[in-house]
Amino acid sequence: MTGGRVRVPKLTSRSGWRWTIATAVAVVAIGVYIGITQPENRIFVVTAFPAFFLFFAVLMWFSEWLDPTAGTLVRIRCRLWRTTVRLEPATSVSLVSNRGGTLLLRARPAQGRGLHVPVVARTDYVEKSQPPALLRQIADALEQHRAGGGRPVAVALRKQADHLEAGGTVASSPLAGLITTGMLTAAKAGGAGAIGGHLG
């Protein structure tokens, strides 16, 4: 916690990071090979590859925070660039799938850039949920600051927290179904239609 803020953990695994690092190493190996075997393309290697790794670093080096008191979600990229979304009535919140195995909390303000923070992940590399305490903090912040559509999302987050605290698994958790079955099916199964009411 920093200055009242609570960090939102990345739902990653060691296997996922190994894959990412292996990809970066492979790119370096390709660059070295091109530089050695194709002298005419060395300028490309010298200029393009540093730009690629800079882009990669910017893409990967970020942290996300919840400030319950201020009612904000914050993303800090490379310790320099900050995106802040206020969880106020003009901000629409919903739970959406990224179609890659992760359920996200989407906060979309009336103007400016929105934020997506991970809630549950079920992929080849990871099966994780945010911890119950954080789920409840997010739910409380959504309700206290009256984020648009926040009530049904808060209810869903608290159900997830209850399930995990009771010893339930991520695979059998209430929010896992929103990843695998889609919004409409999940709504029919559990009355969660309101959760997806702000997907447009």
- For the segment 42-59, the average pLDDT, to the nearest whole number, is 67
pTM exceeds 0.85 for this model: no
56 confidence band (pLDDT: 50, 70, 90): low
Report the C-alpha gap between 61 and 69 in whole angstroms.
Answer: 26
Domain boundaries, the chain: 89-196
pLDDT exceeds 50 at position 181: no
132-157 pLDDT tens trace: 999 999 999 999 999 999 999 999 99
pLDDT confidence of residue 161: 98
pLDDT confidence of residue 33: 72
β-strand partners of 129: 120
**Amino acid at residue number 125:** Y
Strand ranges (E), 68-200: 72-77, 81-86, 92-97, 102-108, 115-122, 127-129
Neighbours of 70 (CB within 10 A): 16
173 confidence band (pLDDT: 50, 70, 90): very high
Between 101 and 195, residue with greater pLDDT: 101
Report the C-alpha gap between 6 and 147 in whole angstroms.
Answer: 18
Q: What is residue 7's DSSP assignment?
A: E
Ramachandran region, residue 44 (left: φ > 0; alpha: ψ -120 to 50; beta: rest): alpha
Strand ranges (E), the chain: 6-8, 62-67, 72-77, 81-86, 92-97, 102-108, 115-122, 127-129
Between 31 and 91, residue with greater pLDDT: 91
Lowest mean pLDDT segment, chosen from 6-10, 17-21, 82-86: 17-21
pLDDT exceeds 80 at position 131: yes
Q: 141 exposed, middle or buried (CB, 10 Å; 0-12, 13-18, 19+)?
A: buried
Strands 62-67, 72-77: pairing kind = antiparallel
pLDDT confidence of residue 36: 81
Complete edge-to-edge strand list for the sheet that includes strand 127-129? 92-97, 102-108, 115-122, 127-129
80-130 pLDDT tens trace: 788 999 999 999 999 999 888 899 999 999 998 999 999 999 988 789 999
Report the C-alpha gap between 187 and 3 in whole angstroms.
Answer: 38
